[in-house]
Amino acid sequence: MRKSRAMNASQSSVPAPRVPVATKLAYGVGSVAYGIKDNGFSTLLLLFYNQVVGLPAQMVGLAVMVALIFDAFADPVIGHLSDNTRSRWGRRHPFLYAAALPVGALYLLLWNPPRGDDTVTLVYLLVVAILVRTAISCYEVPSSALAPELSSDYHERTSILGYRYLFGWAGGMGMLLLTFGVFLAPTAQYPVGQLNPQGYRTYAVVAAVLMVVAILASALGTHRRITRLPPAPAARGTARGSLRALRNRNFLILIGAGLFANMSQGLSFALTTYFYTYLWQFPASVLLIYTLAVMAGVAVGFVIATAASRRLGKRNAAISFLLLAIPTVTAPYVLNFLGWFPDRTSPLLLPLLLASTLIATALGVGVAILGESMMSDVVEDAQARSGERTEGMFFAGSFFMKKSVSGIGIFLSGALLALAGFPEAAKPGSVETDVLNRLALGYVGLTVVCGLLAALVLTRFAITQAAHEERLARLAGATSA
């Protein structure tokens, strides 16, 4: 057993050469599938099932939250199986290929619920949401685990994961751009395009096809790297041993900080469509401009993450981004409540909101990239303690954290809508000002609390660049000895 551990350390502790850009592009493109799914869950799902299908908001939130709880059990199982799979395609790629078609088929079903009473619709939503999340986990968990295997370099990992987030966000927001601009464009029958049932069905078909293509393209594009990746351990690990690895202190700190950060981000995605439609009363065409602002913010976040990491270190850069994001996100709603923000007739309203969106998105993407890169560094931290690498298990935890963007965000958004007394099938301009103010202030309060808690928890993360490089050297020295 000790011999197998030493061999495993030897295979993974020697720093890898620079990863070619072509490999980074192929690795990143697969996250288009997750971006489409995540933006669909976060931005469209609550609006579709609540305002189009007619299911109460709190029931939609409950269904998605229950599906998220199932993920807490499914993701570690997938991670453990991925860590210990032996095949001629390595540990990760069998899962990548197997996930493609189920992801597309199940996502198509999600947007085509049967007609029936609320109970039937709720059960259908719950079951299909669980299956969609499980299928996407079969791709995303093994794919995420590839990042620390492709390179052990402190900053190269941030670059690799930057491509992953760039494609994930660009794919998801690009799909929303197409949805609001084409599928949900206003018509004579549906002047408020966001309420057009057929638009969501068309969206589902196109989204499903793109998800399948993205996953297969990533699997094929990284297939040539299989022979350079660490193989499964000589002695198959036990589930109990893999779960013990998750007790790593730095891993738990990242999960805690990520959950709070993702709660805030999930709230923003789930409620932005409501705010733009009912509070600011913008037409659907403005949502296209909003999507472009988000995409610009993603590009900025992609650039600043690595730059800030080199200057401040990953942890300090992420904390700085979190603290800067809080006032950026909440200022428009606080100032609007106080009467100090441009009203709906002012030409300044949209530019100010778009500027806030761009900056907040850049900061949020920067936090996400840095957090995932720190998760990669946890792999060697745990290896130094146990002698084993369990990337799949760590990234299963990380993926569960990311899924909280849509799960917890939709749950809290549904609860806020219910507490604010937001009506079903509401038309823009008909919702009372008091209701909109209660919704906005509840959103602001939760955003501030979640952001501050995420920053506070992250201050305890202990892996610096110097510590990481010293650990790599120590692992290599132990193997040589």
Q: Do the beta carbons of residue 144 and residue 33 sit within 8 Å? A: no
Per-residue pLDDT of the chain (481 residues; tens, 9 = 90+): 444 444 344 344 444 467 788 889 999 999 999 899 988 887 789 889 988 888 888 888 888 888 877 877 788 888 888 888 788 888 888 999 999 999 999 999 999 998 878 889 999 999 999 999 899 989 988 988 888 888 878 888 888 888 988 899 889 888 988 888 889 888 888 887 888 889 999 999 999 999 999 999 999 998 888 777 766 665 555 556 566 666 788 888 998 898 888 888 878 877 888 898 888 888 877 877 888 898 899 899 999 998 998 899 899 999 999 999 999 999 999 999 999 999 888 999 999 999 999 999 999 999 989 998 898 888 878 777 776 777 778 878 777 776 666 567 767 888 888 888 888 777 888 888 899 999 999 999 999 999 999 999 999 998 888 877 787 777 666 555 5
Tokens for 172? 């998801």
DSSP run (H or E) holding 34: helix 31-39
Q: Do the beta carbons of residue 147 and residue 160 sit within 8 Å? A: yes
Number of CB atoms found within 10 A of residue 9's CB = 22
Q: Do the beta carbons of residue 315 and residue 464 sit within 8 Å? A: yes
Taking the C-alpha atoms of residue 98 and residue 358, their distance in angstroms, rounded to an integer, is: 36
In sequence order, the 6+-apart residues with CB closer than 8 A to the CB of 69 are none
Taking the C-alpha atoms of residue 456 and residue 327, their distance in angstroms, rounded to an integer, is: 16
**Directed axis angle between helix 314-338 and helix 249-274, to 10°?**
30
pLDDT at 15: 46
Taking the C-alpha atoms of residue 82 and residue 393, their distance in angstroms, rounded to an integer, is: 8
Contacts of residues 201-208 at CB distance under 8 Å and 24 or more positions apart, as own/partner, are 201/111, 201/112, 203/40, 203/44, 203/111, 203/175, 203/179, 204/107, 204/108, 204/110, 204/111, 204/112, 205/108, 206/175, 206/178, 207/36, 207/40, 207/107, 207/175, 208/103, 208/104, 208/105, 208/107, 208/108
Taking the C-alpha atoms of residue 455 and residue 257, their distance in angstroms, rounded to an integer, is: 7
pLDDT at 447: 92
Q: Do the beta carbons of residue 408 and residue 270 sit within 8 Å? A: no
pLDDT at 3: 40
Tokens for 196? 């057009």
The single-letter DSSP state of residue 422 is P
The single-letter DSSP state of residue 181 is I
Tokens for 456? 């506070």
Rounded to 5 degrees, what angle do the CA atoms 144, 301, 157 make?
A: 35
Of 118, 109, 115, whose CA–CA distance to 63 is shortest?
Answer: 118
Q: Hunting for tokens 């350079």 — which residue is that? A: 228
Q: Do the beta carbons of residue 235 and residue 334 sit within 8 Å? A: no
Taking the C-alpha atoms of residue 300 and residue 302, their distance in angstroms, rounded to an integer, is: 5
Of 396, 395, 276, 374, whose CA–CA distance to 321 is shortest?
Answer: 374
